[in-house]
Amino acid sequence: MTYLLPISGKPIPSLKIHLSKKRQCLRYINSPYPNTCVLEAIARHLLKDTKEKRYGDSQVLHKMKEIGTLFYKDFNPKTFEGFNYATDIQKIHDHLKLSVNQFSYEQDDKSFHYFLSQSFPIEGDDELNLLLIQSQELNGINIHALLVKDKQRVTGLLFCPICKNHCFKQDTNTAKEMER
């Protein structure tokens, strides 16, 4: 239900908990701009790190400004109000040709259980995976987005390589069958 999501942007205090538990799977950029987390995640996704080349935060922020200008004519990261999921997902599809997967989580006493909550597929293999973290400290009004590098490691599930939405519990038998 994307239309019910608040505008995404502001960094929230509970980010540290998620980053400490899933550091290898999630990417976060320490940004001076208050509401650009989704655009930063898109920029980080487009600037994929390799063994030969690693991109720093300043390069990602520069790419984020380019993407912001592409999406919004008069883009200013200092005054940007945030990413509106109801209207702006289509901009990702149109300009960047990316499928978008939104992950969410449930929290019990000591751990988080991550799951795929929304998928906006288009033709093609390139997909942007975002983890949406809702602030409990700010009365649930604010959402922050992190880039998910490895959705199988975050969720602990294997995703179907064909449709990329159906998932299975990860065990040795399932992994062997998926390789075929």
Give the Cα separation of 53 and 33 in Å (integer).
25
Domain harbouring 29, CATH code = 3.90.70
Per the CB < 8 A criterion, the answer to whether 107 and 14 are in contact is: no
Checking if the pLDDT of 152 tops 60, the result is yes
pLDDT tens digits for range 117-148: 888 888 877 889 998 887 655 455 677 888 88
Checking if the pLDDT of 2 tops 50, the result is no
Residue 55 included in any domain: yes
pLDDT tens digits for range 28-43: 677 888 788 899 999 9
Checking if the pLDDT of 13 tops 60, the result is no
Amino acid at 28: Y
Residue 94 included in any domain: yes
Give the Cα separation of 71 and 95 in Å (integer).
8
Residue 49 included in any domain: yes
Counting the structural domains of the chain, the total is 1
Q: How confident is the model at residue 149 (pLDDT cuts 50, 70, 90)?
A: confident
Residue 163 included in any domain: no
pLDDT of residue 175: 57
Residue 147 included in any domain: yes
Per the CB < 8 A criterion, the answer to whether 162 and 177 are in contact is: no
Residue 177 included in any domain: no
Residue 176 included in any domain: no
Q: Which domain holds residue 103?
A: 2-154
Checking if the pLDDT of 179 tops 60, the result is yes
Among the listed residues 2, 1, 75, 86, the one whose alpha carbon sits nearest the alpha carbon of residue 39: 75
Residue 175 included in any domain: no
pLDDT tens digits for range 45-100: 999 888 888 898 899 999 999 999 999 989 999 999 888 888 888 889 889 999 89
